[in-house]
Structure 1
Amino acid sequence: MLYRLRQSALLLGTLCRLAVAGTTALTIGTSACAATDLPDGAVLERVVLVARHGIRSPTQSTEGLTLKTGRTWSAWPVPPGSMTEHGRTNLALMATFLRTVYAPLLATLGKPHCTPATSPVFVWADSADARTLETGTIFARVLSRGCVLAPASLPAGKKDPLFNAMANGLVVLDQAAITRTLTALSLKDDARALPPAVHTAEQTLQHLFAPQGCNTLHTACFTAPAQFGWKKGVPHATGGLALSASVAENLLLEYVQGLPPTVTAQQGQANLLATILPAHTYQSQRLRRLPALAAARGQLLLPTLLDLLSSAPPHTVPPSARLILFAGHDTTLDMLASLFGLEWHFTDQPDPTAPDTTLGLEVWRLPGQQTMVRFVLFHQSLAQLRMATPVTERPDGGAAMVLHSSLCPTALCSLAELTSHFSSKPSTAPL
């Protein structure tokens, strides 16, 4: 599927007229507004955000990584899969930035006697992992200026079907159909149809970790043919691409955490990451963004989001909420990208779903009273994640990226256009 993408020159709340229902319009100049498809007088009514958690350690132990790659990896200051203090710092910077961007929606925070039930901020976090609960806590406290001290969630450690409807067996996949699709993709790749950037990523990792090639026993092979099987009811990839994707992501986490590099390259670590991350992105496109998998994973989150966009919030969300945030994973972002027909990449960040990356679904009311939805994306550059610098400290000032959904003819989507692509089943989400 082909997608269109447009980079906005707009930093919401600082570069363009932003009017909010019930508040005074904020005017900073209108020269950039023409590029956003937002007519003068458009009113931002609310926004729904979906964010990836902060920087974490690899989910596999360093001993496991060493066994898998033949190299000794740097030790992490936290257990596998846990968010680091550096990650918390970066996440707070993103939350502070978003609070500034959407300040007009949060005007009531300055009033006395703010409570979670009356706050304009509502946060729901995936309860399955401590890192997403921590992420939700940071977002809740920073966005609400301390009015909301913790996110709403299921009990800690419980799998939340809102973020993955397959986790509790709520959705059962058609294994035969998905296997046929993945087999066809694998055969295509075996026929040397891999994108050049992905092929280069595999070759680069092979040279760095095992330059003698794949013929030696117990040597990491980054160029082996991809294979697919099933594990716990979902497709599971093995082979060179899966290994390349995993190692590339772990090297990125190692770099942004500021740890000593496991492997070094003459072109420098940042350039190395730009070379090898295409393997991770390609693997995500083939598995996480596979339509059948995305539809199954998002069977509860999708209708919940559509309800929130159409002013029919679940009973858990207070009527006062104008900014609703879901603290999830990179898999959550990949799933929504597939469902809503979105695609993006960054020039300063090789991972399109890097830690703290946040997708926004903005609800705008146009002068003719029509309600439209606009997709935007916020991220931190590779250097910002490594150095923990404010989001605004980069050449574009932290500008939001405006995404064009393939479901809609323009960057502004009507609710009817969005909902027409999905079934009208009511959500049974725990929210």
Structure 2
Amino acid sequence: MTIRRTLLAIATAVTLATPTFAAPRPAPALKVERVVMVMRHGVRAPIDGEVPVGTRTAAPWPTWPVAAEQMTPHGMRAMAIRGAADRAWLAARGVVPAAGCPARGTVGVWTNVSRRTIDSGTGFVAGFAPGCDIAVGHRAAGAVDPLFEALRAGTTDFVPQTAIAAIERFTGGMDRLAAKHRAELRLLDRVLGCAQPTCSPGAPPALRASADGHGIELDGPIRRTSGIAQVLLLETAEGMPVVGWGRVTPATLERLGRLHAALFDVFTRSPYMAAHQAGPLGRRVIASLTAPNGPALDLLVGHDTNVTALAAALRVDLVSPGYARGDTAPAGTLVLERLRDDRGAAVVRLSYRTQTPAELGRLGSRVTTTPMTIPGCVQLCPLDRFAALLSAHLAPAS
């Protein structure tokens, strides 16, 4: 047998012996039908008491251009830029047109009653659909909106002592929580530069029921320093030329963010607190995603507690560039998309859209979308399963 005939015989044998496989079935085409976005407000001035009275520093704190807790002009410009970026992102998904005014009723915006949330919604809309008649809805001034302040509104059978016991189990106790962040506490002292044993003295760690019985209160180093860490982040997001007296780098800021994130271990992240804090908001999200009709975009603008509580109820961690794990970004947004595949099945996709503190500071337009997987689902979650999973982690309405 010639070499050529031998090689041909071997090739034929190999071909016959090689199993054949069907080509993999392509993933079903997905069409975005509706989007719910739960957003924290944008860049604001510090809240009174966010840097506790008695905190020592080597030099004065910088001044802000607006009153306490109000949106700054820089923050308003950042919200408009974010609105334009989200418009382009949603248009690419077919949710809204790329230009012009969206059809009436296809975009809904609802905010809490605080000025900073209303202004954030207004700034977002100005960039999202300039010159268009999109109302920014909210309750009357002084009212309590249960979507954003569930405990204060008394929407569930919240029991402070039960909450405290659940938080203690979740964290290991307030002493342990403070000890876990000892390195960040020392780092913050170095940034403050007060040349004292600690720059933010005060009461030892303790949890107690609030005076009205509708919530809980925290004392101790995490309570005292979490707000200070947040103010340093806001200085960066405001674009101040010097942050933390020149002693704060992006890496330092991210480390200090663990102190702010630790606050949510107490107030929103334990299963009990998440269930009660996210109750009305979670039910609103489910209703928006499952209703037969509704706006293509349902934007809800609240606070860091709303974003962290909903994330905790969904059993996902907040992870985004430039921030400590579990911390929240100004204008950070949980995005829930309802999609339908070519077989007619409705599914939910979850992501977290943020801008880094530096990007906010330079008024940049880059937004990072971090995909999130809901436990019990694989990337995409069937709509009915999503509703059941989230409902199971929400306290019933009282």
Name the TM-score, length of structure 1 as normaliser.
0.76
SS at match of 2:284: helix
5+ residue gaps, structure 2, are 1-23
Partner deviation per Cα, 1:159-212 (whole Å, 9 max, x = no partner):
2111122222333421221222334466545358844xx321111113343443
- Change in Cα spacing, 1:149 to 1:47, as seen in structure 2 (3 Å) is closer
Is the counterpart of residue 204 in structure 1 residue 187 in structure 2?
Answer: yes
- Change in Cα spacing, 1:39 to 1:163, as seen in structure 2 (3 Å) is farther
What residue number does 2:125 align with? 140
Aligned residues with identical type, % of pairs: 24
Is the counterpart of residue 75 in structure 1 residue 60 in structure 2?
Answer: no
Quick one: distance in 1 between partners of 2:240 and 2:218? 28
Amino acid at match of 2:38: V
Quick one: distance in 2 between partners of 1:83 and 1:145? 20
What residue number does 1:43 align with? 31
Is the counterpart of residue 400 in structure 1 residue 369 in structure 2?
Answer: yes
The answer as to whether partners of 2:80 and 2:125 remain within 8 angstroms in 1 is no
SS at match of 2:348: strand
Q: Equivalences for 1:29-428 in 2 at 5 Å?
A: 39-60=27-48, 65=51, 67-71=53-57, 72-103=60-91, 104-107=94-97, 110=100, 118-127=104-113, 129-184=114-169, 188=173, 190=175, 194-195=179-180, 198-209=181-192, 210-214=194-198, 220-221=200-201, 225-231=204-210, 232=212, 233-259=214-240, 261=242, 263-264=244-245, 268-312=248-292, 319=294, 321-350=295-324, 352-391=327-366, 398-406=367-375, 408-421=376-389, 422=391
- Change in Cα spacing, 1:382 to 1:65, as seen in structure 2 (3 Å) is closer
Higher alpha-carbon deviation: 346-355 or 73-82:
346-355
Quick one: distance in 2 between partners of 1:410 and 1:77? 46
Shift of 1:300: 1.6
SS at match of 1:373: strand
Amino acid at match of 2:88: T
Shift of 1:341: 1.2
The size of the alignment, in residue pairs, is 365
Shift of 1:270: 2.2
The answer as to whether partners of 2:110 and 2:300 remain within 8 angstroms in 1 is yes
SS at match of 2:151: coil
What residue number does 2:12 align with? none
SS at match of 1:65: coil
Cα RMSD after superposing both structures: 3.0
SS at match of 1:204: helix
Shift of 1:299: 2.1
Shift of 1:67: 3.1
The answer as to whether partners of 1:49 and 1:325 remain within 8 angstroms in 2 is yes
Shift of 1:252: 0.9
Shift of 1:360: 0.6
What residue number does 1:9 align with? none
SS at match of 1:180: helix
Name the TM-score, length of structure 2 as normaliser.
0.82
What residue number does 1:25 align with? none
Larger radius of gyration: 2
Shift of 1:280: 1.0
Amino acid at match of 2:312: S
Amino acid at match of 2:382: S
Shift of 1:418: 1.9
Quick one: distance in 2 between partners of 1:405 and 1:344? 12
- Change in Cα spacing, 1:416 to 1:255, as seen in structure 2 (3 Å) is same
The answer as to whether partners of 1:119 and 1:147 remain within 8 angstroms in 2 is no
SS at match of 2:339: strand
Shift of 1:49: 0.7
Quick one: distance in 2 between partners of 1:174 and 1:240? 25
Amino acid at match of 1:202: L
Shift of 1:420: 2.0
Higher alpha-carbon deviation: 180-189 or 252-261:
180-189
Quick one: distance in 1 between partners of 2:309 and 2:170? 19
The answer as to whether partners of 2:347 and 2:381 remain within 8 angstroms in 1 is yes
Shift of 1:283: 2.0
Amino acid at match of 1:269: T
Quick one: distance in 2 between partners of 1:310 and 1:151? 23
Shift of 1:66: 7.0
The answer as to whether partners of 1:69 and 1:220 remain within 8 angstroms in 2 is yes
Shift of 1:284: 1.2
5+ residue gaps, structure 1, are 1-33, 314-318, 392-397
Quick one: distance in 1 between partners of 2:77 and 2:277? 30
Amino acid at match of 1:138: G
Partner deviation per Cα, 1:243-265 (whole Å, 9 max, x = no partner):
12111011111222133657436
Shift of 1:229: 1.7
Quick one: distance in 1 between partners of 2:381 and 2:234? 35
Amino acid at match of 1:250: V
Quick one: distance in 2 between partners of 1:403 and 1:298? 18
The answer as to whether partners of 2:111 and 2:121 remain within 8 angstroms in 1 is yes
Amino acid at match of 2:350: F
Amino acid at match of 1:136: G
- Change in Cα spacing, 1:234 to 1:330, as seen in structure 2 (3 Å) is same
